[in-house]
A and B are shown apart, each in its own frame.
Chain A
Amino acid sequence: MVPPPTDPVPAPGVSPRRQAFRRVARALGGVMIATLAARGLLGARPARAAHMLRPPGALPDADFDARCIRCGLCVQGCPFDILKLADWDDPAPIGTPFFVARQDPCRMCADLPCVRACPSGALDPLLVDVREADMGVAVLVGHESCLNYKGLSCGVCVRVCPVRGEAIALREIVRNGAVIRVPTVNTDQCTGCGSCEKHCVLSHAAIRVLPRALGIGRSGANAAGRGGVR
């Protein structure tokens, strides 16, 4: 691939073959160093931060980052203008689409215009029912601040959920002898659209959409936990 020589005048005492060899070696060396530098740059770029949510149907992170060709067709396809392409200083691979639930949640369009616009398959065309989408999972993170948890009656997060009653519901629990109604997410049904996070009345939302891997636990023993300690 590397085209012909630049220096046509052979240095005295060096055979043309040796010269050609040196040239090829130099070119290969250059390419190798550039590749290493590029790999370094790739690693230095931030991975996706937890609050940058992907549009519905997005493949798992690593595949998404490699398949999304940064064309912005999904951004222009979204009728609610909630998607943005990551800028150089956003904590997501540059040029990939994201939305921030607290700013503007996904409206869960039944016809999934963003997915239909995507030419690369980074937004999986096999997703046809928006209720199957998995943009993340809502988690009640602020137990001390959640008004319902304090015994008041808020429930805004439950009322704004597009999958109301199924993805999130108020569940009665008894705490200190009193019955309180706690917003409880059904992780199987939650699409991670972020409506609850957007509309939480607190100045910092008590409920947040997190990537599924961050948002839910999994049963089994922790190697570093009690099972692992002698």
Chain B
Amino acid sequence: MKAMRRRFPYWLLARRSVQLAVLAAFMYELPGLGRVVTGNLASSTWFGQLQLTDPFVALQALLAGQALGAAALIGALVVAVAYAALGGRIYCAWICPINLLTDLAHWLRTRLGVRRHVPVSRHVRYGVLAAAVCASAAGSTLAWEIVNPITLLQRELMFGVSSGSWLLVVLFLFDLLYSRRGWCGHLCPVGAFYALLGRFGRLQVGASGMGERSASVRACPEPQVLAPIVSGQAEAVRSGECMRCGACMDANPSAGLGMRVRIVARPRIPPA
């Protein structure tokens, strides 16, 4: 096998920058400008004007039988439309702060050479999602928000609360010691929700030529989504589970993969 040319991981850098900038925007004021955003990832106000609401949280409230206020509803609609148009799990890779935690666990895992991996089906997350949805309706409350680690982590960072930290520690250790990419890749119902929402998202990783793609598949947190490309059955990743993280392109720049908005699917590339 020929040695892969490694280059600077541009996608990773871009992704971390966005992730950290969003996290920081919630936590700090800009000197001279004041607050960029108030609230948290459940619902937030940007620049004192734009209201954004997590559509999954809104869905839970609606199922609990609550007609949400217009501000929250419109905010949820804006976010839902954006992710549906581009690809839902952009949220997971570029915004969600838990991704920082689980990526760290995964990095540490490879560093420490942890081999233990108890396989969990990737479909379990859809079961957790269904259960969260059912429990919200049956319990007339926001069921997932009792344990949601995303807003939990944010609250811990923003308001300095800490009694929920044990949950985050458990999650970290689970990913580190128990199951590879266990949380984001197999269990998290928020990821499952965004995967369904962005099922027809148009920002897609596609094949722009031929290339050796095994390194890309190995780097991908959801390797199953690349299978159609590798086998030459499709010219772009169609799965909603693709996180648009760019790890495949960072892993091997000469793999002939690229990410762009594809309004219409092109016919597949004929095998050379």
- We find that the number of chain B residues with CB closer than 8 angstroms to chain A is 55
Question: Contacts A6-B121, A31-B134, A41-B146 known; A119 to B127 CB distance under 8 Å?
Answer: no
Q: What residues on B are CB-neighbors of A120 within 8 Å?
A: 43, 61, 66, 68-69, 71-72
Q: What residues on A are CB-neighbors of B140 within 8 Å?
A: 62, 66
Q: What residues on A are CB-neighbors of B141 within 8 Å?
A: 42, 65-66, 93
| A34 and B128 contact, CB distance less than 8 A | yes
Question: Does chain B have a CB within 8 A of A1?
Answer: yes
Question: Contacts A65-B141, A119-B71, A121-B68 known; A1 to B130 CB distance under 8 Å?
Answer: yes
For the complex, what is the distance from the CA of A94 to the CA of B67, rounded to whole Å?
21
The closest CB in chain B to the CB of A63 belongs to B66
| B69 and A73 contact, CB distance less than 8 A | no
| B161 and A85 contact, CB distance less than 8 A | yes
Name the distance in Å between B94's Cβ and chain A's nearest Cβ.
20
Question: Does chain B have a CB within 8 A of A27?
Answer: yes
| B159 and A84 contact, CB distance less than 8 A | yes
Name the distance in Å between B40's Cβ and chain A's nearest Cβ.
5
Name the distance in Å between A104's Cβ and chain B's nearest Cβ.
15
Name the distance in Å between A109's Cβ and chain B's nearest Cβ.
17
| A70 and B164 contact, CB distance less than 8 A | no
Name the distance in Å between A33's Cβ and chain B's nearest Cβ.
8
Question: Contacts A70-B42, A94-B164 known; A2 to B159 CB distance under 8 Å?
Answer: no
Q: What residues on A are CB-neighbors of B123 within 8 Å?
A: 2-3, 6, 27
For the complex, what is the distance from the CA of A69 to the CA of B44, rounded to whole Å?
11
Give the residue of B131, B135, B155, B167 whose beta carbon is less than 8 angstroms from that of A85: B155
Question: Does chain A have a CB within 8 A of B65?
Answer: yes
Question: Does chain B have a CB within 8 A of A95?
Answer: yes
| A38 and B72 contact, CB distance less than 8 A | no
Per-residue CB proximity of B94-132 to A under 8 Å, as 1/0? Answer: 000000000000000000000000000101101111111
Which chain A residues have a beta carbon within 8 Å of chain B's beta carbons?
1-3, 6, 27, 30-31, 34-35, 37-39, 41-43, 45, 62-63, 65-67, 69-73, 75-77, 84-85, 87-89, 93-95, 117-121, 125
**A69-B68, A73-B45 known; 9 other A-B pairs, CB under 8 Å?**
A1-B126, A34-B130, A35-B138, A69-B145, A73-B43, A85-B159, A94-B164, A118-B69, A119-B72
